């Protein structure tokens, strides 16, 4: 359990607290670290920070983390003429999850926008991986670049390069994901795995797990 989780658990167990109380109950020290984490959690919408007149700032769980919001429900998408499939009916209600602790996996798109720039404005996932793993991904990309018809003369962020109905609708959420503290990865036929803001070129390869196997 990391310090963010310790602080959230302390608030769930004890209710609203100021930074000093929260440091004591969560056992996260020094107090300044608690203050920094709480500011970060507030920006993510996980907690609220309010100060009564003449009093200390009090940290409280947001509605999502306090469990006040109802579980997300998805409508039935398949029905027989008489009644819904019991198995599908059981799957139609998805338990509430913690978005900040969830990894969202998104498929790439066959449709791609053309154009772009010659300079990469943002770093990619390779820079965020352990050195050895990052090198493996770079080498795998290099090996597949010819067969994938990879062209990186012009670059665009993933959320701009991929086109089609899904990305048209999801683009604003993909752009906002890092600011909201959400973790999103795109599975790509030409790059293996990508961050939403990662700059990429164009390619013409469909994703196949066997092509990205260490033994391939």
The model's pLDDT over 85-126, given as tens digits with 9 standing for 90+, comes to 565 555 555 556 677 788 889 999 999 999 988 766 667 899
> Which domain-ending residue is among 66, 94, 116?
66
Of 32 and 180, the structure prediction assigns the larger pLDDT to 32
> Which domain-ending residue is among 16, 47, 66?
66
55 plus 108 within the same structural domain: no
* Burial of residue 28 (number of CB atoms within 10 Å: 0-12, 13-18, 19+): buried
Q: Is the pLDDT of residue 30 over 70?
A: yes
120 plus 200 within the same structural domain: yes
DSSP 8-class letter at 112: B
Distance (Å, whole) CA 72 – CA 215: 40
* 15-20 contacts, C-beta under 8 A, 24 or more apart: 15/60, 16/58, 16/59, 16/60, 17/58, 17/59, 18/56, 18/57, 18/58, 18/59, 19/56, 19/57, 19/59, 20/56
Distance (Å, whole) CA 79 – CA 93: 15
Q: Looking at the domain assignment, is residue 46 inside a domain?
A: yes
Q: Looking at the domain assignment, is residue 139 inside a domain?
A: yes
Q: Looking at the domain assignment, is residue 83 inside a domain?
A: no
Domain total in the chain = 2
Confidence of residue 37 (pLDDT cuts 50, 70, 90): very high
Containing structural domain, residue 208: 102-212
132 plus 43 within the same structural domain: no
188 plus 130 within the same structural domain: yes
What share of the chain in percent tops pLDDT 70?
80
pTM recorded for the entire structure: 0.54
The arithmetic mean of pLDDT across residues 21-38, rounded, is 91
Q: Looking at the domain assignment, is residue 87 inside a domain?
A: no
């Amino acid at each position: 359990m990391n310090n963010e989780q310790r602080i959230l658990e302390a608030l769930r167990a004890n209710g609203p607290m100021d930074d000093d109380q929260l440091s004591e109950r969560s056992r996260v020290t020094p107090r300044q670290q608690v203050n920094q984490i709480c500011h970060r959690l507030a920006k993510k919408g996980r907690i609220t920070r309010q100060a009564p007149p003449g009093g200390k700032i009090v940290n409280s769980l947001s509605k999502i983390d306090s469990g006040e919001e109802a579980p997300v429900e998805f409508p039935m998408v398949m029905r027989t003429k008489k009644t819904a499939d019991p198995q599908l009916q059981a799957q139609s209600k998805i338990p509430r999850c913690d978005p900040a602790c969830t990894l969202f996996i998104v498929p790439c798109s066959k449709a791609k926008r053309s154009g772009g720039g010659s300079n990469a404005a943002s770093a990619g996932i390779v820079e965020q991986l352990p050195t050895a793993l990052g090198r493996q991904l770079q080498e795998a990309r290099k090996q597949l670049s010819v067969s994938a018809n990879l062209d990186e003369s012009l670059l665009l962020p993933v959320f701009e390069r991929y086109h089609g109905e899904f990305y048209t609708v999801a683009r604003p959420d993909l752009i906002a994901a890092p600011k909201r503290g959400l973790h999103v990865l795109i599975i790509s036929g030409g790059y293996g795995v990508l961050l939403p803001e990662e700059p990429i070129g164009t390619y013409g390869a469909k994703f196949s797990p066997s092509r990205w196997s260490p033994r391939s």
